[in-house]
Amino acid sequence: MDEESAEVAKQTEPVDAQDASVDPVKVPEQIINDLKPPLDFVPPKLKRKRKIVKRKLGVSSKTEKTLVRTTRKIQMKRKPALGPVDQIRLDAKYPLIPDFDVGSPLSIDTPDSCAASLVSTDSDFPDSVIGLSDDDSSYDDAEQGNEDSQSSISGYTSMSSVSVTQSRDNLSSSLSEENGQIRQIKPGEEDTRPRRAVVRVSRFSNLPPFIYFPPAEERGADLPQDLAKNMKWKLSTITPLVVREALKSTGFRLIKSKSESKDWMGMWGKHMKSIEFSSLKATQKINHFPGTFQIGRKDRLWRNIRKLEVKFGVNEFGFLPQTYVLPYDLKSLRKAWKKTSSDVPWIIKPPASARGQGIKVIHRWDQLSSARPLVVQEYKNNPYLISGTKFDIRMYVLITSFDPLKIYLYEDGLVRFASMKYSSEMTSLGDNFIHLTNYSINKHCDQYIHNEDAGACKGSKWTLKSLWNYLRNEGADVDELLMRIRDLVIKTVVSGEGVVNRLCNENLKSTYQCYELLGFDILLDTELRPWLLEVNISPSLHSSSSLDVTVKGPLIREVFNLARFHFPSKFNEEKQKEMSKILGIEQEIGSFCMDGRLYSRVLSMGEKEKIEDILLSAESGLRQEWLGSILEDLKPCDIRQLVHYEDEQTQLVNFRKIFPTPESHRYLKYMEYPRYFNLLLDAWENKYSTNRRQGIGLDFAIPLQGTLTVDACLF
């Protein structure tokens, strides 16, 4: 293991691998039980916004009233399943470390008779809500249309029911990956992959279990019929095949993008308008946060990074090539242009597009068009070359929360080469096969060389791991480079966190609803200095080769496992017990289904007071101020965050946590203002990063035996 991986591994070491010496955290004796919001609590501000959205979608107030009445009726019927908040006293020694393999899926088989259909015919969620994006950010998954047409790589089915539904507009076609190979299972052919229960218990007792997404070599065991019926995933027009495959082998029913069903649990789609997030249910999870276009659009990205560069200096934030956004920056561009000679190249890009569309490298003023908004950027004409060819790298970054900020960086990724040898001659600038590295462009060049071997340094596409090996063999300091890349990623995300958090506060009902996978495109110069080219908020998961599948297949499963999906809350207590039993859960789990209160955004008076006190003391900027006090007298909202945080850590395979870490507090100063939960995790990392077991287990459990109940954590 290299030094860098060893360092990260240390930060994320599984609990069980660590020492368990005791240094107790003081936890509350008194349980804050006041100010419990009702399960369907909606802040008034959100109510107003929802009304506007509904009006926009054409939901009349009469329909709305009927909907509300029906919902209430259903809720009243359902309530006994969960129990009113103050009746839930499951007597948790909370949180506890279970005795068995925590955080890992249960390895049991469920009866074959439980098979369920995969495609729902339910209807009722307007596509206008789902598919819209005002943000026009960088979606390189628009390649999806491309992907769908690749019949040669589609057509796998695991459960017999799929073949029945397959004819229905191809919803059921998907990929099977075996050692990076795409395999087609013909109708009637037996799928021999081992089956595994798609349930994973939390590392804490009394918490509901999570849905487990098995690796491609395995498939999920069938779910009890009642449960399978409710495992609905809403397709969007861009749901990639690798995503569909991961969902189907987990037992999800894929419902059509045009379906009007409101009952779905998850969706993988384009970014929506911020206000449209407010019409999502607290229990629905989607792959975006409101406002991430702040880093996903080239013009906004520049504005945000530039703001911090002005404040903190070019040494800290000078990793984005100098950019001008026209027409606003026309004057300053003209000034800069005059200072340079005529043989200095610039690159022009539409502010919100992807896949190299509309991009040109230019060197004359008259090549600029003032007709449309444009991003004009300093062209980096000293790229690091391999075999004389330019390349850029695609890194995958997962954000599971913006408050507290939690960022994970995937260890593998893609290296995309231009198809022709590099030249700095002015006459070559018009040749996109030399200067652009997008696959969508270079695949049209007859010199493009396909590479199917994930471990090989050959052809026009490599895996990132191959690049690191290559560079190490060349004597490059890859650890230093990775450190710079981590720094660049964190700073970029931080540059947009202010707006994202504001929009989350305005539009989200729970902390469960969002996660986001970002694609960072990075260019290395001759000094191996990383330059950020752009951030894609819908990175392409299109798989045109087995090399792509090798990287993206495991990636998406890990994303889902880290995003942590619960089973839908549709069943009464008895049914839940029955399901737990069928799925082989022996641990005390509280409810089997999603319990929205674990993700409540509402704070009690006591919690608010603590937060205010801590933030006040943090104003001094002295870290010792919060390190010392924040872990004393933990409130339910603290425990909720810590539980989610620690549960997430059990799911890391190829992702590495880069924020928070014991050292990441140095990034706090770049944020708009200190956020309480960032300080909480900073203190937590500071104290327990090298001994997580101590943090999550003994300290919580022992002093709380018999005193802290599940609802204490809930509210």
Among 96, 119, 221, 354, interactor with ligand ADP by CB under 6 A: 354
Long-range contacts of 355-360 (CB under 8 A, 24+ apart): 355/140, 355/142, 355/143, 355/438, 355/440, 355/441, 356/432, 356/436, 356/438, 356/440, 356/441, 359/432, 359/436, 360/430
**Binding of residue 392 to ligand ADP (CB under 6 A):** yes
Cis status of the peptide bond prior to 383, with omega within 30 of 0? no
Among 355, 566, 610, 656, interactor with ligand ADP by CB under 6 A: 355
> Which of these ranges, 224-232, 433-441, 569-577, 684-692, lies near ligand ADP under the rule CB under 6 A?
433-441
Question: Would you say 517 or 594 has its CB closer to ligand ADP?
Answer: 517
Least Å from the CB of residue 321 to ligand ADP: 4
**Binding of residue 205 to ligand ADP (CB under 6 A):** no
**Binding of residue 353 to ligand ADP (CB under 6 A):** yes
Q: Interface mask (CB under 6 A) for ligand ADP, residues 453-472, using x and -?
A: --------------------
**Binding of residue 533 to ligand ADP (CB under 6 A):** yes
Which parts of 289-328 interact with ligand ADP (CB under 6 A)? 321
> Which of these ranges, 44-52, 191-199, 221-229, 354-362, lies near ligand ADP under the rule CB under 6 A?
354-362
Q: Interface mask (CB under 6 A) for ligand ADP, residues 212-251, using x and -?
A: ----------------------------------------
Least Å from the CB of residue 141 to ligand ADP: 12
Which residue in 378, 387, 388 sits closest to 340, CA to CA? 378
Which residue in 609, 612, 599, 604 sits closest to 679, CA to CA? 612
Token pair 């060349």: residue: 474
Among 359, 398, 489, 504, interactor with ligand ADP by CB under 6 A: 359
User: CA-to-CA distance for 607 and 704, rounded, in angstroms?
Assistant: 18
**Binding of residue 380 to ligand ADP (CB under 6 A):** yes
**Binding of residue 288 to ligand ADP (CB under 6 A):** no
SS (H, E, C) 199-259: EECCCCCCCCCEECCCCCCCEECCCCHHHHHHCEEECCCCCCHHHHHHHHCCCCEEECCCC
Which parts of 474-513 interact with ligand ADP (CB under 6 A)? none
Sign, CA torsion 578/584/588/590: negative
Least Å from the CB of residue 359 to ligand ADP: 5
Least Å from the CB of residue 518 to ligand ADP: 13
**Binding of residue 431 to ligand ADP (CB under 6 A):** no
Which parts of 321-350 interact with ligand ADP (CB under 6 A)? 321, 347, 349
Among 239, 304, 438, 641, interactor with ligand ADP by CB under 6 A: 438
Residues 6+ apart with CB under 8 A from 546: 180, 181, 182, 452, 454
Question: Would you say 209 or 356 has its CB closer to ligand ADP?
Answer: 356
**Binding of residue 357 to ligand ADP (CB under 6 A):** yes
How many residues bind to ligand ADP according to rule CB under 6 A? 22
Which parts of 623-662 interact with ligand ADP (CB under 6 A)? none
Please, are residues 106 and 585 in contact by the beta-carbon 8 Å criterion? yes
Long-range contacts of 436-442 (CB under 8 A, 24+ apart): 436/356, 436/359, 437/390, 437/391, 437/392, 438/355, 438/356, 439/544, 440/140, 440/143, 440/355, 440/356, 441/355, 441/356, 442/416, 442/417, 442/418
Which parts of 511-530 interact with ligand ADP (CB under 6 A)? 521, 523
Please, are residues 290 and 277 in contact by the beta-carbon 8 Å criterion? yes
Count Cβ atoms below 10 Å from residue 540 Cβ, excluding itself.
26
**Binding of residue 377 to ligand ADP (CB under 6 A):** yes
Beta bridge partners of 267: 234, 286
**Binding of residue 534 to ligand ADP (CB under 6 A):** yes
Among 110, 133, 138, 274, interactor with ligand ADP by CB under 6 A: 138
Question: Would you say 119 or 347 has its CB closer to ligand ADP?
Answer: 347
Please, are residues 358 and 136 in contact by the beta-carbon 8 Å criterion? no
Question: Would you say 340 or 357 has its CB closer to ligand ADP?
Answer: 357
Check residue 521 and report its DSSP letter: E
Question: Would you say 532 or 642 has its CB closer to ligand ADP?
Answer: 532
Helix orientation angle between 605-618 and 676-688, rounded to the nearest 10 degrees? 80
Least Å from the CB of residue 451 to ligand ADP: 18
> Which of these ranges, 377-385, 405-413, 490-498, 512-520, lies near ligand ADP under the rule CB under 6 A?
377-385
Least Å from the CB of residue 172 to ligand ADP: 32
Residues 6+ apart with CB under 8 A from 9: 1, 656
Residues 6+ apart with CB under 8 A from 177: 183, 216, 242, 245, 549, 550, 553
Question: Would you say 133 or 257 has its CB closer to ligand ADP?
Answer: 133
Size of the chain in residues: 715
> Which residues would be at the binding site for ligand ADP (CB under 6 A)?
138, 321, 347, 349, 353-357, 359, 377-380, 392, 436-438, 521, 523, 533-534
